[in-house]
Structures are given as C-alpha cells and as structure tokens.
Structure 1
Amino acid sequence: MNNAEPQNNPEGERLQKVMAAAGVASRRVCEDLIAAGRVQVNGVRVEGAGRRVLPTDLVSVDGKAIQLDTTKVYIMLNKPTGIVSSLRDNRGRPDLSRYTNEFEERLFNVGRLDVDTSGLLLLTNDGELAHVLAHPSFGVLKTYIAKVEGVMNQHTVNKLVGGIELEDGLIEADKARIIGTPSANETVVEVTLHSGRNRVVRRMLDAVGHPVIDLVRRQFGPLHLGSLAPDAMRDLTKAEVGELLTISRGGNVAPATGDEVPDENPSDD
C-alpha cells in the first residue's frame, strides 16, 4: 500500500465537510478520524488536515467505503409475488414502476426476481454499483428460503452442494440446509449460491425431485430482508451502503456502458 499523501484536488471541498455531509459523523469527529489516520482517499491514508476531495474520489473509513455523492439513492424492496422485475412490462403485468415512481430520481433494479418469487430486491440510481453487483462474474451471494414438495433428506442436501448437472451445465449451491418440515409432504430448505443463472434455484430443486411451492430471497450480499413486510420499502442504512460500496469497489469487471441494468436480464432465482 502506498502511504504517500494522496494528490489534493484544489477544486474540491474539504474532506471533513464532505464526510459530515455524507452522514459519517459530525465535522469535528470527522477531523479526529482524519487526524488518527483512519481515513483513506483513493486507497491512500490521509494524515493531515486540509485535504480536498471531489465526488469522484473514493473515500473509506477503517477500510469501509462511504458514498460522497448525496444524490445516490439505495432502497431495499420486499418484492411480492405477481410483480415483474422490470421497470416496464410489455405484457401489461404489474411491474416495479409502482415503486420507482414514488421517487424523483430515476431508479432501477439490481438483478431480478421471477414473477412468482418474492423477497429482497435492491433499487438504486447508482449505475456503477449496480453494474458490479449484477455482473455474472462477480457472483454476489444470495440466500433463498424455499418451501418444496416432499420430505427432503440430508443426502439430497449434499447433492445440492456437491453439484447438479442442469441443461446449461453443472451448478453447485454454496450452502444448503433443511430448516423444517411443516407437513408430511413439504420441506423448508435454505439455499445460498452465487450463480446468476435464470431460475436456477427452482431448477436445482426440481432436478433433485423437490419442486418449489414458494420461494423467498432473504439475503443479497450483505443485505438482509429482516422484518421488512411484503410490498414495503426502506432506505438502506449508512452501514449497509458502506458494505455494498466496499464490495463493489473490489469488483474487477468492465466499466458500465450506461446508467441502467438492462430489463432483459434473466431472473436470478
């Protein structure tokens, strides 16, 4: 790591002022963080007062990224079933515009969920972050809770983790476990994987003889659905945004070519 003082941007604003505006802490506390050597700009520790930055500079505190651009919006949605993961549906079905229209900013979805799948979906106007998180090669972890037909055993769980040959190639769950058996012919299973293939969770479970009855995405990377009610939205916390930015800045993918993730992306459940 290069410990030399990063190049100053004379056209920018003072670092502590920008950090305070971004909600890190009060300006005085931000000054103390800088003086303690806990702040980095573009990967280089800042050790003195007077540093100026631009909105394009990458700032982190204790290794966790912060968003300087206060125009960026990050929304968690608990998408209910029956909603198409598109900003406009050419078949006239209910889509995400009913949520994004509530905001002045032009928001779009990061990845997709099948119309029959509910759960966590991220809406944002941060095209760079969305591009990295949705990029197939980046492989952000996603956790689903599935109610399936039949009583699943540990041998079948091991098959999910060990690998299943689907029509588009071998697929392995990163983790899988049985949560419960709500009836004599149903099982609830948790599946975590990083694949972005189309309807992959449903196809995996169908391939091992347990078709999906109900499917919910509970986690997307560091984001957890928690107690957010179906059809409800909330702003991400500063900590959640920082975790996403920290992950996305480590993503080694080609730059985004536009502001929006294309609507034709396949659903990734």
Structure 2
Amino acid sequence: MSDEGVRLQKVLAQAGVASRRAAEDLIFRGRVEVNGEVVREQGLRVDPATAVIRVDGKRIPPQQPHEYVVLNKPRGVVSTMEDPHGRPTVADYLGERGRLFHVGRLDADTEGLLILTNDGDFAQRLAHPSYEVSKTYVAEVAGQVTEATLKRLRTGIRLDDGPVQADQAKLVQGLGDRSLVRVTLHSGRNRIVRRMFDAVGHPVRKLSRIAIGPVKLGDLKPGAVRDLTRDEIGALLDLMKL
C-alpha cells in the first residue's frame, strides 16, 4: 500500500460524509467508489484533490480552498463587482467573504439565482455552452400564453443571432392579462429569455432564475447568500466533467 495521500476514511470524515468509524463501515459495505471502482480496502490512501470519490453514487467534491456560493440577486442589482455609475452590485451582498466572481450574468431587471466562486476552472466550465448546464426561469409575461405558443418555444424560434429552443416551457398560471411561464433552456445568450418571449408576442414583465442545473433557489430570500451544498458541487462537477 502506498504511503502517499490521505486515508480514504479520513477524507470522507473531513468532507462531512460520516465519522471515521462510520466511513469505515461505508467502505466495508461497498458503498464507496474511487475513480470508478468500488473500494473495500480499509486504509486506502488517495489524493483528495484529484480522486473522484462517490458514496452511494453521489460525487464527493475534492477538498480545495475554494468558495462556491449562491446569491438570490435582487432586481435592480447589476451583475458586476464594481459599477462606475454607483448602482448596487453583487459585491454589496457578499459581506466578509473573499474575492469571488460571478458565473455568467443576470441583467439588472432580472432577479434570482447567481453562482459565485473563486475557482477559475469551475467558473469557466459552468459558463461555457458546450457543457450544457440547464437554467430554469419563471417569467411573468404580458397576455395569455397558449399551448401553441409553448410548443413554438419548445420547437424552436429564430432570433437575429440564430435559432434557440426551450427544453421545457410550461404554463404555471394564467392571471387575466398576464401569464406565469416556467422555462428551462441551455442557452446563455444575452437576455435570451426576454428575446424569446418578445419574438412570440408576450413581452416579459418580470423574470426570475430559479435553478442552474441541480442548484435550486428554493426559499433563499432576495439579497441572501448561502454556500452550495456538497451534493450540489458534486453534481455540477459531474455535469462539467471535472
């Protein structure tokens, strides 16, 4: 057995999965995988920064000095760390946290989920369209949205910068002269949801992003910040093939 690395049960304990004794039991019962192989060997040493570790199929993120947080960006806040015009920025909501960078943007009039991190590789992949991390929005739009319109959004429409289609588009509620629509798509193009609804004749009145891949906004209040959970980071790492 190599003397390099850290004992697997210690890595699991430090990640908050279980106590060392309970981690040994998980290993004994074949519930732990390292780099795609079930491990039953007690005392196996691994590199916690690079080993792909799963417990019951769920990815355990590597131990690194990085921060990963979710902000419920309020409406009227710009997705920058500094603004020359004196408008409120996402940096105003981070408190004593270190220097973080937002992954992608939400325009000032759009509220909701924004991920921030100091992990450059993570941020670059999460923002890159080739990894197809979905984003889900709830849009309040003008007029009564019909099933035919929802089908157009799902089938695809052509905008000035090319075609785009929603993975899912569902009417949540009709409200007289307006509608609430839940939309999931992979495109990260500028103001894409607003432009899609403009194209089908239902301008957006209010827009909120409620999910990025497995990360959900939930009941996080506007302006509040929370850390991503271990399961959320692990699921994102898998989606981005990190």
TM range, smaller chain: over 0.9
Q: Which runs of 4+ in 1 moved over 4 A?
A: none
Offset of residue 160 of structure 1: 0.6
Answer yes or no: is 1:202 the counterpart of 2:208: no
- Partner residue in 1 for 2:89: 95
Name 1:48's counterpart in structure 2.
Answer: 41
For residues 198 and 219 of structure 1, the distance between their equivalents in structure 2, rounded to whole angstroms, comes to 17
User: CA RMSD, aligned part only?
Assistant: 1.8
After superposition, the Cα gap between the structure-2 partners of 1:205 and 1:9, relative to the gap in structure 1 and judged at 3 Å, is farther
Q: Cα offset for 1:146?
A: 0.5
Q: How does 1:26-65 map to 2 (within 5 A)?
A: 26-54=19-47, 55-65=49-59
For 2:158 and 2:56, how far apart are their aligned partners in 1? 43
Check whether the contact 2:131–2:239 (CA below 8 A) recurs between aligned residues: no
The Cα shift of 1:211 comes to 0.6
Percent of matched pairs sharing the same residue: 53
2:63 alignment partner AA = D
1:177 matched to 2:170? yes
Give me the whole-angstrom Cα distance separating, in 2, the residues matched to 1:49 and 1:196: 45
Unpaired segments ≥5 residues, structure 2: none
Tell me the TM-score normalised to structure 2 length. 0.92
Q: Distance in 1 between matches of 2:28 and 2:44?
A: 11
Note the alpha carbon deviations across 1:31-67, whole angstroms, 9 max, x for none. 1122222222233332211211222322222222112
| Distance in 2 of aligned mates of 1:161 and 1:115 | 26
Q: Is 1:223 aligned with 2:215?
A: yes
Q: How far did residue 101 of structure 1 move? A: 4.5
Mapping of 1:67-106 within 5 angstroms?
A: 67-69=61-63, 71-103=65-97, 105-106=98-99
Shift of 1:22: 0.8
TM-score relative to the length of structure 1? 0.83
- Once the two structures are TM-superposed, the CA of residue 12 in structure 1 deviates from its matched residue by 1.6
1:17 Cα deviation after fit: 0.6
How far does residue 108 in structure 1 lie from its aligned partner after superposition? 1.6
Correspondence 1:119 to 2:112: yes
- The question of whether the paired residues in 1 share the 8 Å contact of 2:74 and 2:112 is answered with yes
Q: Is the 8 A contact 1:18 1:68 kept in 2?
A: no
- State the aligned residue count: 241
Are the aligned partners of 1:119 and 1:217 in contact in 2 as well (CA < 8 Å)? Answer: yes
Aligned to 1:153: 146
Does the aligned pair in 2 maintain the 1:19–1:68 contact within 8 Å?
Answer: no
**Counterpart check, 1:130 vs 2:123:** yes
